[in-house]
A and B are shown apart, each in its own frame.
Chain A
Amino acid sequence: EDQVTQSPEALRLQEGESSSLNCSYTVSGLRGLFWYRQDPGKGPEFLFTLYSAGEEKEKERLKATLTKKESFLHITAPKPEDSATYLCAVQARSGNTPLVFGKGTRLSVIA
């Protein structure tokens, strides 16, 4: 069974204090690993897709990286507007498989 575990569950940072969120996964052949951002009361918003180990994607203060067993979302010099829950999801290669989501990391950035 495909599984995604995210850590920590919650993270509180001072503005400008860089850190990383972890996503560990097990999947029967990875088609893709996806990062989403979810603001309170809103639906998840797509951020990145990673397909193979060693791949990196960047967007503003966020950088996502991928290994064969985990992905990291690095947040550099975060701002209060980066506060949100970050969700990681995997999709298996076989057939028309849906995304399997982790429970997310709730990030709070304090000014």
Chain B
Amino acid sequence: DSGVTQTPKHLITATGQRVTLRCSPRSGDLSVYWYQQSLDQGLQFLIQYYNGEERAKGNILERFSAQQFPDLHSELNLSSLELGDSALYFCASSVVAGSGELFFGEGSRLTVL
């Protein structure tokens, strides 16, 4: 158990809908990262927050947004969903920003029909 909690574990929705994925980092970790994993693309970095502030942005679509709240939990919002958004979405956390030693949650599997 990494100590990172993600909800929901599974989510099935329709194209055009909006969903919110939630992540609670390990106790004491200030940095949160979101990754998308698909079969053909592997793990792709989306966005990073540190203590509530956005620190780095990857190839995150404009339809996606995220935030980190004062209690350090984070949410990833995915809107106007397309079939291609079906993937595993992982949250990870680390004590310091920019660490390469990340602790990953078990992921949220999103299926868009």
Contact = CB atoms under 8 A, between A and B. Distances in A.
Interface of A: 31-32, 34, 41-46, 49, 87, 89, 91, 96-104
Interface in B72-113: 90, 92, 97-98, 100-107
B106 A42 contact: yes
B2 interface: yes
A47 to B, nearest CB: 10
A99 B56 CA distance: 11
B101 A43 contact: no
B45 A98 contact: yes
B45 to A, nearest CB: 4
B25 to A, nearest CB: 13
Closest 8 CB pairs of A and B: A43-B104, A103-B42, A101-B43, A98-B45, A96-B98, A32-B100, A91-B100, A34-B100
B55 interface: yes
B8 interface: no
Of A32, A42, A43, A45, the most chain B CB neighbours within 10 A belong to A43
Given A44-B104, A45-B104, 14 more contacts: A41-B107, A42-B107, A44-B90, A44-B102, A46-B101, A46-B102, A87-B43, A89-B100, A96-B97, A97-B98, A98-B45, A100-B45, A101-B43, A103-B41
17 contacts: A31-B100, A34-B101, A41-B106, A42-B107, A43-B104, A44-B90, A44-B104, A49-B101, A87-B42, A89-B43, A96-B98, A97-B56, A98-B33, A98-B58, A103-B41, A103-B42, A104-B42
B56 A98 contact: yes
A42 B104 CA distance: 9
A96 B48 CA distance: 10
A46 B33 CA distance: 15
Contact of A98 (B48, B90, B105): B48
B106 A43 contact: yes
Contacts of A42: 106-107
Given A31-B100, A96-B55, A98-B48, A45 B42 contact: no
